[in-house]
A and B are shown apart, each in its own frame.
Chain A
Amino acid sequence: MVTDQGEQEMNDAISISGVSKRYGRIAALSGVDLTVPAGTIVGLVGPNGAGKTTLIRILVGALRADQGTVRVLGQDPFTNRRLVRTQIGYMPQAPVLYQDLTIGENITFFARGHLNGGVAAKVAEVVRFVDLEEEIDRQVQSLSGGQAQRTSLAAALVHEPNVLFLDEPTAGVDPELRRTFWLRFRELADSGVTLVVSTHQMDEVVHCDRVAIVRSGLVLADAAPKELFSSGGGTVRIEKETGSEQHHIGSLADDLPRVLYDLGLDRSVKRIDVQGPTMEEVILGLIDPNGGGHAV
């Protein structure tokens, strides 16, 4: 069957091709390719300085790519930013809010950028969504980190965007709230919103439909979490009556049957332990194949 590329592009909320960006002598992005189908959650995972924030800022039209093509909902987010921005939401890395205003005042102010009427109803709805109804009149400077992050999320969501860019939304957030955040993100994706979420927390990639691993301005891998997981190697430990032996294999999915066959599973084998890597090990392996992997 011939793929209808035009139709595919229509279904992609975001397409990035050969995007590069330099800050003076430093290359922040060096030829990034990525497509994000509509209504999916894509996780951008990588160490500090990998280029995740630069990529998100290019996608929201706050920066212009030096080279390459960027399309958000079929439009160039820089040259057509006024149009694109009516349909996107952006939650910056730190909770960028007015500290001396209340939760309600902050969300209302950012809502008024996009909405001409019905602001109060939309604000009430989004405040309910992030579960801050009781705190709505509190000043941001008196909030906990998690409450500020929820306020920032609400400010990004209030105009009901089709595409949502979240730059490290769960940084500094306690595990329970992280879980709630991901449940909310999934609800949004189920309602048709496309989400691009950058994260430090590698275990969070299991919540994503696709994971893009970013290092040194490049997307090293772009796959579903299951595919990533199966690409990892592991250890096979075989206990025999005569003793135990351990074998390292490159890819559990591809090589495990062959390794077991080669070892000859005779009656002396008492037990076989197959240990796969954690998601963190898989990603660290992709980021740094030489085993450094400490920078995330």
Chain B
Amino acid sequence: MRFSRIRAVGGRVLHQIARDRRFVVLVVVAPLLLVFFVKTLFEATMVPAPAQNQFVVPFGAYIVHFATFILTAIVLVRERVAETLERMFVNGYRQVEIVAGYLIGYTVLATAVSVMVLAALELLFDLGYDLGRLVEAFVILWLLAVISMALGILVSNLARTEGQVIPFIPLVIIPSFLFSGIIVAVDVLPRWAQAISRLSPMYYANQVLQQVIEGNSATSDFGAALALPIFGLVVLGLATLTLREQS
């Protein structure tokens, strides 16, 4: 592994993102719009604020998860179809360098999405978090974003065409929403659904976020806090191993 090659992939990805301003604006603004829609829904139903927070903060995280997962799922398979992925391999780039470079490049966008979503939650729902809680919530959202991008790469490795990625998107996104504890507690789900919930980074992110929502430190349940980065490393390892050169 050579760091200069990771930097080259990351730099190249950033260059491409910077050239497509409309894409950048859409990626950052669309999640804000979704947070606003949730606000409108709660205003109409008049749910009390504490109950709102239990839902909206994880839902904000879910928006970050959704947006960042789709980014890499689609972009990397596009590289495979265009054969630039094969050309990268033939020109000496290695799996781990490509995955790391991609994550570094897109982390800039993921960071922007995380900050914007958190700012929108704070402003629209008046969470009343102090700086420490906001930083903790941001770190969780940011980690979730990076892990979701690694998950996107893993899923794109299972597809051969851009069309094949499409069925995978709801398969990942919808169970993440239903089974990760955003709507109902995971404990009440059947065992098979609980097992599925463990396959989504949203589950681990929600476990830690609930601590922050309740006013505890993010690391007060140390096991839950550690599970998120460990899950991320596993996904990252799998994404690297499955990034195959041959189609």
Contacts and interface: CB of A to CB of B under 8 A. Distances in A.
A86 B92 CA distance: 7
B12 A101 contact: yes
Contacts of B82: 96
B74 to A, nearest CB: 15
A110 B4 contact: no
Interface of chain A, main secondary structure: loop
Interface string B1-22: 0101100100010011001100
B86 interface: yes
A62 B93 contact: no
Interface in B77-91: 82-84, 86-91
B175 to A, nearest CB: 33
A86 B94 CA distance: 13
A89 to B, nearest CB: 9
A94 to B, nearest CB: 7
B87 A92 contact: yes
A140 B196 CA distance: 44
B121 to A, nearest CB: 33
B245 interface: yes
A188 interface: no
A90 B87 CA distance: 8
Nearest to A102: B15
B45 interface: no
B99 to A, nearest CB: 15
Given A100-B19, A105-B15, A116-B4, A110 B91 contact: yes
Contact of A60 (B4, B16, B90, B94): B90
A63 interface: yes
A110 B92 CA distance: 8
Given A98-B12, A109-B12, A114 B246 contact: no
B8 A112 contact: yes
A101 to B, nearest CB: 6
Contacts of B93: 113
B8 A113 contact: yes
Contacts of A113: 5, 8, 88, 91-93
A159 B92 CA distance: 11
A68 B52 CA distance: 66
Q: How large is the interface on A (under 10, 10 to 19, 20 to 34, 35 or more residues)?
A: 20 to 34
Interface in A80-103: 82, 85-86, 88, 90, 92, 94, 96-98, 100-101
A85 B84 contact: no
A63 B247 CA distance: 9
Contact of B5 (A61, A64, A112, A155): A112
Contact of B89 (A62, A109, A112, A159): A62
B71 to A, nearest CB: 16
A63 B246 contact: yes
A100 B16 contact: yes
Contacts of A86: 92
A101 B15 contact: yes
A116 B15 contact: no
B2 to A, nearest CB: 7
B86 A92 contact: yes
Contacts of A111: 91
A60 B94 CA distance: 15
Interface of B: 2, 4-5, 8, 12, 15-16, 19-20, 82-84, 86-94, 245-246
Top 7 A-B pairs ranked by shortest CB distance?
A: A113-B92, A113-B91, A112-B8, A114-B92, A96-B83, A110-B91, A90-B90
25 contacts: A62-B90, A62-B246, A85-B92, A88-B90, A90-B90, A92-B86, A92-B87, A96-B84, A96-B86, A98-B12, A101-B12, A101-B15, A105-B12, A109-B8, A110-B87, A111-B91, A112-B8, A113-B5, A113-B8, A113-B92, A114-B92, A116-B2, A116-B4, A155-B87, A159-B91
Given A62-B246, A92-B87, A109-B8, 11 more contacts: A62-B245, A85-B92, A90-B87, A90-B91, A98-B12, A100-B20, A110-B88, A112-B4, A112-B5, A112-B8, A114-B91
